[in-house]
Amino acid sequence: MEPTLKANARTLIGKSTQRLRRAGILPAVLYGKGKTSLSLEVSKKEFEKVFRAAGENTLINLLVEGQERKVLVHDVAHHNLRDEAIHVDFYEVDLTRKIHAKVPVHLVGIAPAVKEQGGVLVKNVGEISVEALPGDLPQFIEVSIDGLKEFDNNIRVSDLKFSDKIKVLNHVEEVVVTVKAPRSEAELADLEKPAAEAEKAAIEGMTAQADKEKAEKTAESGEDEKGGGEKAPAAEAKVEKKVEKKPEKK
């Protein structure tokens, strides 16, 4: 049974929506193909409850001023510091038209290659792109990893089981999850070596630049001292010349 969420028309927009959030109300917008967009508000507590149960791919009965709308949660904006919703977009669907959606991948079970051999589980694909009628969209796809018994065992898109009503859009050979052998100490050292060399090169570069600047400053200081030494004799000559012109006292 589809979950139901009540929504009301919203008159506050822009910065004024802060007042709604403080009152436990979540600003929202409803739109759809060929539909007029509506500014709405929903109970934050009720929305979070429904969203936990439905996710992004389950139809929701959105009651707007008493009128039922079939919608999907298209996007949820979150606070940049706190993990809480601050705005939600609802997309009104046409139940007779297929849509594109992304189905989350949920891994279940235990991979023997990880538990018994210390392998590393690598999840390459987190969502599967599909095409289906809104009512046929699964909330998620469960992928069992119990069969990953050896290193480099893979589960590909072609191994996933979907309803005949769903068309998978990913390439069939795309690897969803695999198990890699743990890296040896030598491999880890090889990975760290380029970083260490880059750091050493950067330090040497900064040292060379500092030495160059120091040498330039020393050269400039030497030129100043030399210039002062050349000007001193001229001053002395001027004094001597002035003394020679001074008349002798009788």
Q: With helix as H, strand as E and coil as C, how does 6-43 read? A: EEEECCCCHHHHHHHHHCCEEEEEEECCCCCCEEEEEE
Q: Distances from the Cα of 135 to the Cαs of 20, 60, 72, 78, in angstroms?
A: 32, 10, 10, 27
What is the distance between the alpha carbons of residues 213 and 240, in angstroms, rounded to a whole number? 42
> With a threshold of 0.85, does the pTM exceed it?
no
Q: Is residue 126 part of a domain?
A: yes
Evaluate whether residue 238 is within a structural domain: no
Q: Do 108 and 69 sit in the same domain of this protein?
A: no
Residue 221: domain span: 194-225
Do 130 and 52 lie in one domain? The reply is no
pLDDT at 230: 46
Q: Which of 38, 61, 93 is the last residue of a domain?
A: 93
What is the number of domains present in the chain?
3
* CATH number of domain containing 22: 2.40.240.10
Tell me, yes or no, whether 75 and 105 share the same domain.
no
Specify whether 60 is located in the same domain as 107: no
CATH number at residue 172: 2.170.120.20
Find tokens 């979950």 and name the residue: 3
d(CA 117, CA 113): 5
What tokens were used for 246?
């001074």
Do the domain assignments include residue 168?
yes
Q: Which helix (H) or strand (E) holds 69?
A: strand 67-78
- Asked whether residue 170 falls in the same domain as residue 214, the answer is no
Alpha-carbon gap, residue 24 to 84, rounded angstroms: 12
Kindly state whether residues 132 and 204 are assigned to the same domain.
no
Q: What is the DSSP string of 73-131?
A: EEEEEE-SSSSSEEEEEEEE--TTS-EEEEEEEEEES--HHHHTT--EEEE--SEEEEE
pLDDT (tens digit, 0 to 9) for every residue of the chain, 250 residues total?
789 999 999 987 777 788 888 899 999 999 998 888 999 999 999 999 999 888 888 899 999 988 999 999 999 998 888 888 999 999 999 999 999 999 999 999 999 999 999 999 999 999 999 999 999 999 999 999 999 999 999 999 999 999 999 999 999 999 999 999 987 655 545 545 666 666 667 777 777 777 777 776 666 666 555 554 444 444 444 444 444 555 555 4
In a domain, 19, yes or no: yes
86 and 145 assigned to the same domain = no
